[in-house]
Amino acid sequence: MATDRRSARRARLIGRAFIYGALIALAAFYLMPLWVMIVTSLKSLDEIYSGSFIGMPQAVTFEAWGKAWSTACIGTKCEGLQPYFVNSLMMVIPAVILSSGIGAINGYVLTKWRFRGSNIVFGMLLFGCFLPFQAVLLPMAQVLGRLGLAGSIPGLVLVHTVYGIAFTTLFFRNYFITIPDELTKAAQIDGAGFFRIFFSIMLPAALPIIVVSCIWQFTQIWNDFLFGVSFTAGESSPVTVALNNIVNVTMGRKQYNVDMASAMIAAIPTLVVYVVAGRYFVRGLTAGAVKG
């Protein structure tokens, strides 16, 4: 008995060691590029150009971080990423709210108010997300021009909303389908209308999937470069366009340390969203998105 228990315990111990070992090894692999980026951002440029790319810095300096935030030149304006950060926020917040809101109500209609052809509508919406964006730039520009929204943040918000609907609708539809129809039917009998049911029954129940949809949209929109560079200009550019202008030097000298610091600064909002909301993310997915 005693030996049995001991060997069982040993087997469990080996199992745990394997699990932790594997998880830590994977974590090390995943952190490798981040390590390179952090280390590089703390080096002086001369040190990097003398051939030190991956190793530890000889002298740690935070110069690159300060420069990336407030003095790096983006075109002839040398104010760092700061002002573009604001642009991105002004773009990403309405775009996330709009696309998630529309996705929520679409998902609601497509599950609780089904009509003939509603599945076809859903299929059509979903197929839209596989359209290569490089192909839509010019016609989209024409449409924005006609609407008077060319080169502006509202125009960019519109574009992100249009191309975000597919995924947000997918998320909410797959979530709402798990809410029993009886619930809405009962509410209808009680005299609740279309919007009443949506706002007082569906939305409160949808919190987890709202988090998922917002995280996904936030990441996609915040990191977008293609639409940003095409549909805004100059001072209304989002942070990725500014980041590109810092990083993508062709004929001049690349400032790798500032590049890396800028990239990490530009990623802070998404990182915060992931870390803070990461728990809800998994919970939200558990609650619905993965149930087809």
Q: What is the CA radius of gyration of the chain?
A: 24
Rounded to whole angstroms, the Cα distance separating 192 from 22 reads 53
Stretch that binds other proteins, among 1-9, 56-64, 86-94, 264-272 (CB under 8 A): 264-272
Dihedral, 143, 146, 152, 157 alpha carbons, nearest 10: -40
Nearest alpha carbon to residue 126 among 113, 142, 107, 111: 107
Rounded to whole angstroms, the Cα distance separating 251 from 268 reads 29
Rounded to whole angstroms, the Cα distance separating 217 from 219 reads 5
205 burial type by CB count under 10 A (0-12 exposed, 13-18 middle, 19+ buried): middle
Give residue for tokens 């500032």: 258
Give the one residue of 92, 197, 214, 266 binding other proteins; rule: CB under 8 A. 266
**Contact between 187 and other proteins (CB under 8 A)?**
no
Give the one residue of 91, 157, 210, 267 binding other proteins; rule: CB under 8 A. 267
**Contact between 71 and other proteins (CB under 8 A)?**
no
* Cβ atoms 227, 159 nearer than 8 A: yes
Per CB under 8 A, contacts with other proteins among 1-60 are: 16, 19-20, 22-23, 26-27, 29-34, 36-37, 40, 49-51, 53-54
Side chain identity, residue 184: T
Alpha helices in the chain (DSSP H): 2-41, 45-49, 63-66, 82-112, 118-127, 137-147, 153-176, 181-189, 194-197, 203-205, 207-222, 226-231, 239-247, 256-284
Stretch that binds other proteins, among 57-65, 84-92, 199-207, 268-276 (CB under 8 A): 268-276
Which residues partner with 77 through β-bridges? 74
Give the one residue of 90, 97, 121, 179 binding other proteins; rule: CB under 8 A. 121
**Contact between 123 and other proteins (CB under 8 A)?**
yes
Q: Considering beta carbons, is residue 40 or 87 the nearer one to other proteins?
A: 40
Stretch that binds other proteins, among 57-65, 89-97, 129-137, 199-207 (CB under 8 A): 129-137
- Minimum CB separation of residue 190 from other proteins in Å reads 15
Per CB under 8 A, contacts with other proteins among 216-255 are: 219, 223, 225-226, 229-231, 233-235, 240-241, 243-255
Give the one residue of 17, 60, 73, 93 binding other proteins; rule: CB under 8 A. 73
**Contact between 65 and other proteins (CB under 8 A)?**
no
**Contact between 151 and other proteins (CB under 8 A)?**
yes
Give the one residue of 6, 9, 10, 77 binding other proteins; rule: CB under 8 A. 77
Count of residues in contact with other proteins, rule CB under 8 A: 129
At 74, phi and psi to the nearest 5? -115, 100
Q: Considering beta carbons, is residue 91 or 243 the nearer one to other proteins?
A: 243
Give the one residue of 10, 71, 127, 199 binding other proteins; rule: CB under 8 A. 127
Provide CB contacts within 8 A for 196, sequence distance 6+: 187
Give the one residue of 95, 125, 206, 214 binding other proteins; rule: CB under 8 A. 125
Which residues partner with 74 through β-bridges? 77
Give the one residue of 42, 109, 201, 211 binding other proteins; rule: CB under 8 A. 109
